[in-house]
Amino acid sequence: MISKDDIKKLSSLSRITISEKEEEKLAKDMEGILSYVGQLSEVEISDRGVSKEKSELKNIMREDVISNNYNIVANDILKESPKLKGDYIVVKKIL
């Protein structure tokens, strides 16, 4: 059971002001949430056939390949910019 002191401590940690009426409602809501989480922790999932150890899922990453099209793409971008200085795009200083 969540006490009013617990609710007061949570409200001070979260820097919110809670009235007496809201404290009672929050205590009731938090109790419901915690009981639901407690039910979830009791669920047996070992017979479902999939577990972290048995899972065949893998993180598939593509190889980083430098394409020969880089210069073509860079040149296309440079052509579209309004102002250039050498191979660099000139932008307005914002600092």
pLDDT confidence of residue 55 = 64
Residue written as tokens 């047996």? Answer: 44
pLDDT confidence of residue 44 = 72
CA 88 to chain centre: 35
Query: 4-44 belongs to which CATH class?
Result: mainly alpha
CA neighbours closer than 13 Å in the CB half-sphere of residue 70: 4
Q: Read off the pTM.
A: 0.42
Of 38, 28, 33, which Cα lies nearest the Cα of 4?
28
Each residue's pLDDT, cut to its tens digit, for the chain (95 residues) gives 788 888 889 899 999 999 989 998 998 899 999 899 888 878 776 665 555 566 677 778 888 877 777 777 888 888 899 999 988 899 988 87
DSSP state of 46: G
Assess contact for 7 and 18: CB atoms under 8 A. yes
